[in-house]
Amino acid sequence: MLSKKLHDAINEQINAELWSAYLYLSMSLDAENKGLKGVANWFFIQFREEQDHARIFMNFLASRDAKVELKPIAEVPTTWASPLEMFRATLEHEKKVTAMIQNLATIAHDDIDFASQNSLVWFVNEQVEEEENCREMISAFDAVEGNKFGLYMLDKELAARVYATPSPLAGKE
């Protein structure tokens, strides 16, 4: 059985993951409006991943016979000056998500809840990857800033990104 503290924190995390999805959908739409289809694709895939992260937490709560309590999703920004600004905002957001995941892991540790600790390892590793990806994108867009051909080529590269179902959901769709 989950402690009330962990149960509440996971429900907060579900809301945060859905807010993240909404944020990345907003970034995708802004990029598309600016004619950056590759950047739009990158953020649309992020949107889908965040929805899946919320679903993984929902499935975990169900497996522990705990109720998912959906809450309203707060408003997100709708425009950014450039893709570089989008990725800088994304990195700052992902750092906040990392802190939330670490908080969940700390609660599970303090509760001596090995099942929750084990499930959270995937998210801890995922956050390392998310922050690394953001830093790489910031470096790439920083390198092409002011270079229209470089931006065009980077946008074309991002258009090739494909969605992959996160491993905790594999076979459960």
pLDDT band at residue 170 under the 50/70/90 scheme: confident
| CATH number where 140 lies | 1.20.1260.10
3-class secondary-structure state, position 71: coil
Number of domains the chain contains: 1
Residue 138 within any structural domain of the chain: yes
pLDDT in tens, 109-163: 999 999 999 999 999 999 999 999 999 999 999 999 999 999 999 999 999 999 9
Q: What is the rounded distance in angstroms from the CA atom of residue 170 to the CA atom of residue 173? A: 7
Residue 154 within any structural domain of the chain: yes
Q: What is the rounded distance in angstroms from the CA atom of residue 60 to the CA atom of residue 122? A: 12
Q: What is the rounded distance in angstroms from the CA atom of residue 105 to the CA atom of residue 107? A: 5
Q: Which residue has the tokens 């494909």?
A: 162
Residue 61 within any structural domain of the chain: yes
Residue 131 within any structural domain of the chain: yes
Residue 170 within any structural domain of the chain: no
Residue 168 within any structural domain of the chain: no
pLDDT of residue 94: 97
Residue 90 within any structural domain of the chain: yes
pLDDT above 90 coverage of the chain, percent:
94
Which domain does 17 fall in, by range?
4-71+79-163
pLDDT of residue 168: 87
pLDDT in tens, 142-156: 999 999 999 999 999
Residue 173 within any structural domain of the chain: no
Whether the per-residue pLDDT at 90 is higher than 70: the answer is: yes
